[in-house]
Chains A and B, each alone.
Chain A
Amino acid sequence: MEIKNLLAKFKHISDNPKEMLDKYISNGEKVIGCFPYYVPEELVEAAGMVPFGVWGGSKKISLAKEYFASFYCSLAQMNLEMGLNGTLDKLSGIIVTTLCDTLRPLSQNFRVGVPNIPFLFLNHPQNRKEDFGITYTKEIYSELLEKLVKISGHSPSDEDFVNAYNNYNESRALRREFVKLAGKHPDKVSAVNRSAVLRSAYFMKKKEHSEMLKELNELLKKEEVKEWDGVKIVTSGIMVENKALLEILDKHKVAIVADDVAHESRAIRVDVDLNEKDRVLALAKQFANQDDDTILYDPTIYGRPKNVANLVKESGAQGVIIFMMNFCDPEEMEYVSLKKELEEEGIPMIKIGIDLQMEDFGQAETSIQAFTDVIDF
C-alpha cells in the first residue's frame, strides 16, 4: 500500500471511532473504556478484552453541565457527556483515574451519573518510584485486574500477560519511531495525518494498529529526506488533535518534529519489562518510571521543563508551541517553569489556549503565523 493510502486508512479510523467500537462489539468482544491518564491497558488485553481510549469526542456539552460548573476542562466534561448521553453504553466497563483535580470529581460524577456502565476506579500514587509506591501501584492494579476478570470471565495466563505486554511494547516502539519519521518527512506526513496515526491507536487493538504502522514506517524509511521549507516545532499540551487547528499548522508549513503531548508521546515513553516475572509488578514498575509529565509529581523538581528543552534540541526543532487546555491546572501550573527554561535555552515559544469544543481558530492562526515569522527571521 502507498503512504497516502495507509494514512487515509488511519485517518478514517481516527475520524470514526464508533465504527471500530461497533466492529469489536459485533465480533462478540468486550470493550473497556480507558479515560486519561496512564491506564494500564495491558491488563484489559491480558484479560481478553479490547481497551478503547476515551479522550473527549462528544459534539457538544449539555448533560454534563448538570454535574460541572463552567470552569472545568472540556476533556473531562466531554467524557462525562458521552457517558450521560449513551455514547459509551456499549462498553463493558470504564476505567477512570484521579491524577488531577478535575478527574477527582469526574470519577464521582461518572460513577453516580452513569450507573449502567461498570465503573472501574483507579487511584494511582504520586510517590510512585519508591518500593512502597510500587507496592501500592501493584495492589491497585491487582484489584483492577480482578474486576476486569469478573467482567471478561477470563483469568489471564502468564502467556496472556506476555502477549499483551509484547503487543503494547511493540506498539509504543512503533509509535515512537513514527513520531521521528513523521518529523523527518513532514512533506509526506501532514500534522493532520500525524495526529490521525497516533490517535487511531486508542481505537484499535494494538496488534492491528501495529501491523499498519509497521508498513507505514517501512515506507517512510525508504523515502528520501527532503529539506523542509517551513519551520520545525515541538508541540506541548494535553491534546493536540483538532483538525482545524492542525490544518493551520499544515497551511503555514509548521512541522511537528517531536511532542510533549499527554495524548501522544507522554503516553508511549515507557515499556513494560518482560524480565520481571511478576507480571503485575512489571506494570507497577512501568508506572514508577513514568516522568516528565505535568500530571505527575516530579521528585527531581527540575525534570520536566528540562525534558522539553532537550526534546527541542534532540529533534532539531526551532521552537515550541504550547497548546494550553483551558482550565487545566497542572499544565497551567507548570507553564511558568517551562517558559523560563525555554527562554534560558534561547528556544522560541508561544502559548495558544484551546479547548476541545473550539471551532474558531482565527486568533490561533494569527499567533502561529507570527510565531513562524519570528522563527524564520
Chain B
Amino acid sequence: MSETEKIPAKQMLRDVVDMVYREAQEAKDRGEPVGWSSSKFPAEFTEALGLKVVYPENQAAAISAKKGGQRMCEHAEAMGFDNDICGYARISLAFADGAECEEKPMPQPDFLLCCNNICNCMTKWYENVARMHDIPLIMIDVPFNNEKEPSQAQVEYMKAQFKAAVEQLEKIAGRKMDEEKFNQACANANRTARAWLKACSYLQYKPSPLSGFDLFNHMADIVTARCKVEAAEAFEALAEEYEERVKEGTSTWKYDENYRIMFEGIPCWPVLRTLFEPLKEKGINTTAVVYAPAFGFVYEDIDGLAKAYCKAPNSVCLETGVEWREGICRENKVDGILVHYNRSCKPWSGYMPEMERRFRKNLNVPVVSFDGDQADPRNFSEEQYKTRVEGLFEIMEEEAAKKERV
C-alpha cells in the first residue's frame, strides 16, 4: 500500500475490535466454543489456545454509547436485579437473558472467564450467567491489595490459578496449550502495552496532539485485543500519528486548549457528547485518564504476568491508585481534576473522597466532582455536570490569574 493510502490508526483500531467480534461469531457459527471474558482476565492463555473470546464490559459500553443502556438496564430490573447494581452487569445479564440488542450483538457464551481484579461484582455477575446458560466458569481470583506490591504468597496463588485455568481451558479447546504460542501472545501483549503507553504519553505535549477523550474509544482495543499483533500495530500507528501531529503542530483536539484536566473514572457512555460539550466550549482538554497506567502493563516472566494482573484500578491500594493518577497529572501538566462519582462502580468511587483530598494537597490543583453512571443515563444530571464544569473552569481561571500576577 502506498503512503497516500495509509489507513488512519483510528480506523485500524476500529477494525481490530470488529475483527475480534467477527471472528468470535464465525467460530460460533462453526460450532466452536466462544467465551465471555472480564476485561482484565489474562487473555494470553485463550489467545495461545486459539479460543475466541468476547468482552461483556466492552459490549455494555458500546450499547450504552449507542443509547441502549437504559433499555437493557430496565430489562435486567424486570428480571429482579436491583437498579443500584453496576450498569454493565445489568446490561450483560439482560443480554444473557436474550434481550434484543441491535447496538452491539455478540455470540452467547459457551464458557466464562472471570477475573475479579476488576471487582467482586464481576464474580456474582459471571456466576449468574453461568447459571442462566449452564456453562463452565473459569475463575481467577485476585484478592484486594493493601500494599503497593502483591506478596509472594499472592503471586504463587495467582500462578496456581493460572495452571488450573489452563487445564480447564485445554478441555474446552480440546487441545493442549502450545508454549510457543503462549510466548507469542505474551510478546504481543507487551508490545501492545508499550505502544498504548507510548500513544498515551503524547498527552504530555503542550498543546496536546490529541483529545484525551480519544483514549476512551481506543480502550476497546486494549481490552479486547491486547494479545493480538494487529492491536500492537494499530497502537504503534496511532503513536506515529501523534508524533506527526506534534511535528506539524496539529491535534485531534480542535478547540482552544486553555486548560488541561484529568478526567477521573469511567466515562458516562450514554452521554459522552454531553460530557464533551462544556469542556469544548471552555477550551478544556482532557490530558490525563487513569486507563493509561491501568492497562499499560508490561511484564517479563510468569511472576511478572501474575503481578500485572493483580494491578487493576479496583484491586490496588489507595497509595498506588493515587500514585498512578498523580503521575499522569504531573507528566501531562493538568490544571484541574474532574471526578466522576460513578453509581455503577462502588469499589472505584469508594476511595474517591480521600483521593480528592490527596490530589488537592499534593498537586495543588482544583478538584471538582459530579454524579453519573457508566451505563445508566438515569443516574446523570446534565445540569449538575455543566454547573460543576463551570465551577472548575472558574477556579482554574482564578488560579491562572494568580500565577500571572506573581
Contacts and interface: CB of A to CB of B under 8 A. Distances in A.
A135 B153 CA distance: 8
Contacts, number: 151
Contacts of A99: 120
B127 A301 contact: yes
Interface string B39-81: 0000000000000000000000000000000000000000111
A132 interface: yes
Among A326, A327, A332, the most chain B Cβ lie within 10 Å of the Cβ of: A332
A68 B141 CA distance: 26
Contacts of B347: 101-102, 104-105
Contacts of A346: none
Interface stretch (B19-27, B28-36, B349-357): B349-357
Nearest to B81: A336
Interface string A292-309: 001001110110000000
Given A67-B353, A123-B146, A339 B141 contact: no
Contact of B143 (A100, A106, A113, A124): A124
A100 B124 CA distance: 10
Among A67, A127, A139, A330, the most chain B Cβ lie within 10 Å of the Cβ of: A127
B396 to A, nearest CB: 24
A298 B154 CA distance: 21
Interface in B305-359: 314-315, 317-318, 341, 343, 346-347, 349-354
Contacts of B143: 98, 123-126, 136, 140
Contacts of B341: 69
A111 B318 CA distance: 10
B350 A109 contact: yes
B146 A107 contact: yes
Contacts of B216: none
Given A132-B164, A333-B128, A139 B153 contact: yes
Interface in A236-266: none
Nearest to B118: A101
A125 B84 contact: no
Interface in A66-102: 66-69, 71-72, 98-102
Interface stretch (B3-11, B155-163, B192-200, B267-275): B155-163
A68 B143 CA distance: 22
A108 interface: yes
B353 to A, nearest CB: 5
A127 B143 CA distance: 10
B182 interface: no
A71 B84 contact: yes
B121 A68 contact: no
B157 A135 contact: yes
Contacts of B314: 101, 104
B37 interface: no
B349 A136 contact: no
B145 to A, nearest CB: 7
A104 B120 contact: yes
A100 B120 contact: yes
Given A132-B160, A299-B139, A105 B128 contact: no
A132 B157 contact: yes
A121 interface: yes
Interface in A291-343: 294, 297-299, 301-302, 324, 326-327, 329-330, 332-337, 339
B119 interface: yes
B146 A298 contact: no
A299 B143 CA distance: 17
Given A108-B318, A126-B139, A136-B154, A336 B128 contact: yes
A69 B84 contact: no
Contacts of A335: 80-82
Given A108-B351, A135-B156, A301-B130, A332 B85 contact: yes
Contacts of B139: 126-127, 297, 299
A159 interface: no
Nearest to B346: A101
B286 interface: no
Nearest to A121: B146
A108 B354 contact: yes
A95 B315 CA distance: 19
B124 A294 contact: yes
Interface in A100-153: 100-102, 104-109, 111-113, 121, 123-127, 130-133, 135-136, 139-140
A341 B137 CA distance: 20
Interface string B118-157: 0111011101101100000101110111100001011011
B354 A109 contact: yes
B154 to A, nearest CB: 7
A132 B161 CA distance: 8
Contacts of A327: 84, 346
Contact of B318 (A112, A133, A337): A112
A106 to B, nearest CB: 7
Nearest to B152: A139
A135 B158 CA distance: 12
A101 B119 contact: yes
B397 to A, nearest CB: 28
Interface in A147-205: none
Given A98-B143, A136-B154, A106 B120 contact: no
A337 B350 CA distance: 27
Given A107-B144, A127-B141, 18 more contacts: A67-B354, A69-B349, A71-B343, A98-B143, A102-B347, A105-B351, A135-B157, A297-B141, A301-B130, A301-B131, A329-B86, A332-B82, A333-B81, A334-B124, A335-B82, A336-B79, A336-B80, A337-B128
The 9 closest A-B pairs by CB, nearest first: A105-B350, A132-B160, A333-B124, A123-B143, A139-B153, A136-B157, A126-B141, A108-B318, A98-B144
15 contacts: A67-B351, A67-B354, A69-B352, A98-B143, A100-B120, A101-B347, A105-B351, A107-B144, A111-B146, A121-B146, A126-B139, A127-B139, A132-B160, A332-B81, A333-B128
